[in-house]
Structure 1
Amino acid sequence: MKTKLQFGTPCLALIWLIVTTLPFIFVVATSLKTQDETFSAPVWALPQHLYFGNYAAVLEGPYFTYFRNSAFVVGVSVLLIVLVSAMAAYAFARLRFSLNKTLFAIIVAGMIVPLHATLVPIYLLTRNLGLYDTPFALLGPYVALSLPVSIFILTGFMRQIPRELEEAAQLDGAGPFRIFSRIFLPLSTPGLATVAIYNGIGLWNEFIFAYMLTSTPEHRTLPLAIWDFQGQYSSNVPAMLAVVTLTSLPLIAAYAFGQERVIKGMMAGSLKG
């Protein structure tokens, strides 16, 4: 039985690798085809000749403007998410106050709120605040909707930090802020990295709020770059997939670099101390 498990696990892993890799291979292969070849050849056929004109067309357009907007919005949002969720998690994990469990339950309940239920209120609020179609229109929704899961992860992580360290710091005269900045933040680095990578990947690919709260190329993000190659009656499919490929490369690099931290942080955050 043990031999079968040892043999079966690598086979299942190999099958899963193939299943998850094929879509990316399809996207890259199609992005290297011409428009005519896309419709004349079989869907899964490899390109007859490598055609890099799609990438040239993408890079000659406003791609770098979209990239800059995405980098700004995602970078600032992730920084705020990590900072706010870390402070909130410290309060829930260590500070004793009457509404601790109640407030934590309310925040965690935010994880089950349907995204689409918030679209109209957020759109109206953004218009009323004069932030529509500005670089700051996406910061509020991105941070607010990412906080529940981030606080949940970091609270579970901080609860595992030994209380002896906190008590020793208190004996030395350290207050809550100093304990948080000198002890909890450094020891929570794996959890903070998990929250940063997890939210960074999700926000980099976010489409619906970027589409709803921005309207001009000067303020739109990378997921909306595909609209530059979609017309009323036809679409440049290879160019659109070239955009998808270029957009995915930073995410693949980030996840390949930080996947171990994400897995360890998620597992640690799911345990209770």
Structure 2
Amino acid sequence: MPTVSLKPALAYPKVRDISLRSLVKLLALVWLVVTLLPLLFVVFTSLKSQAETFDSPVWALPRQIDWSHYAAVLQGGILVYLRNSVWVVGMSIVLILAASSMAAYALARLEFRFNKTLFGLIVACMIVPIHITLVPIYLLTRSLGLYDTPFALIGPYVATSLPVSIFILTEFMRQIPRELEEAAKLDGCGPFAVFWKVFFPLSGPGLATVAIYNGIGLWNEFIFAYVLTSSPSNRTLPLALWDFQGEYASNIPAMLALVTLTSLPLIVAYAFGQERIVKGMMAGSLKG
């Protein structure tokens, strides 16, 4: 009886897998180019002289690197905006991590009435447009005497970031083995000790995901900062473009130098933190 060779049949899936991987790599390369070109355009144009931006092609490299626009922007008070952004975003992230991690632990592991209902309400808050709260937040801020202070931004930033943060951490903490929790209880740990000694350390990837995710969003936040602050000494970095547009409106390289400086901290943070974001999201999505 003749034998049938299975080698050609087995070769087709391998060829198909190689073709699929090649296609994915090609699409990733195309997407890299699409996302990188605007950034390169901004950086190259910011290094041109003002006259060169008008008499040279748009995508031409600078004939001579001109750092004067960066010096002018740094001397124009951008460091004050940077200081405010670092302080406001940093304090907001600390409060978000503290509140959301404790709430997530309670929702993930503590048995109490209306647990699932409360979690559902928190998830439902994620679909509420945050800008519809702008007027009541503005009135509350004025009545509390916090208007035009950095503290005016911390409350709204924390409140609007909590739903998605609690959702991410709750799903993450549900995957932590119960054996660790039971071992801690046998050692005499109460609920808070279990949270602090077991769940909080083991939730490191999830906490990093929440911190980076919210940090990127709050760093770029504009509308609350614009409405709740008015003086340059209390405004955050996204408003630097708004406040400086009158001074540099006709100076395209200076405006793009300002865009580069405001984007640089975010690019650096994301470059170092993107792996933690992916790991945190994947860890929270796996069923243990």
Q: 1:142 aligns with which of 125, 138, 157?
A: 157
Count of aligned pairs between the two proteins: 273
Q: 1:267 to 1:134 in 2, by over 3 A?
A: same
1:177 equivalent in alignment to 2:162: no
Q: Per-residue deviation at 1:12? A: 1.1
Q: Tell me, yes or no, if the aligned pair for 1:156 and 1:272 is still in contact at 8 Å.
A: no
Q: 1:230 aligns with which of 240, 245, 249?
A: 245
Q: 1:195 aligns with which of 207, 210, 228?
A: 210
Q: Tell me, yes or no, if the aligned pair for 1:89 and 1:155 is still in contact at 8 Å.
A: yes
Q: Per-residue deviation at 1:268? A: 2.3
Q: Tell me, yes or no, if the aligned pair for 2:146 and 2:152 is still in contact at 8 Å.
A: yes
Q: Tell me, yes or no, if the aligned pair for 1:153 and 1:270 is still in contact at 8 Å.
A: no
**What letter matches 1:16 in structure 2?**
W
Structure 2 distance, partners of 1:121, 1:39, is: 46
1:19 equivalent in alignment to 2:60: no
Structure 2 distance, partners of 1:134, 1:255, is: 28
Q: 1:145 to 1:235 in 2, by over 3 A?
A: farther
Q: 1:103 to 1:49 in 2, by over 3 A?
A: same
Q: Per-residue deviation at 1:3? A: 2.6
Poorly superposed stretches of 4+, deviation over 6 Å: none
Q: Per-residue deviation at 1:76? A: 0.2
2:13 is aligned to: none
Which consecutive unaligned segments of at least 5 residues does structure 2 have? 1-15
Structure 2 distance, partners of 1:100, 1:245, is: 46
RMSD (CA atoms):
1.6
Structure 1 distance, partners of 2:180, 2:109, is: 12
1:160 equivalent in alignment to 2:175: yes
Q: Per-residue deviation at 1:234? A: 4.0
TM-score when normalising by structure 1:
0.95
1:266 equivalent in alignment to 2:277: no
Alignment of 1:18-97 (within 5 A): 18-97=33-112
1:255 equivalent in alignment to 2:270: yes
Q: Identity percentage over the alignment?
A: 72
Looking at CA atoms only, which structure, 1 or 2, has the larger radius of gyration?
A: 2
Q: Per-residue deviation at 1:243? A: 1.5
Structure 1 distance, partners of 2:235, 2:180, is: 46
TM-score when normalising by structure 2:
0.90
**What letter matches 2:102 in structure 1?**
M
Which consecutive unaligned segments of at least 5 residues does structure 1 have? none
Give secondary structure in 2 for the equivalent of 1:34.
Answer: coil
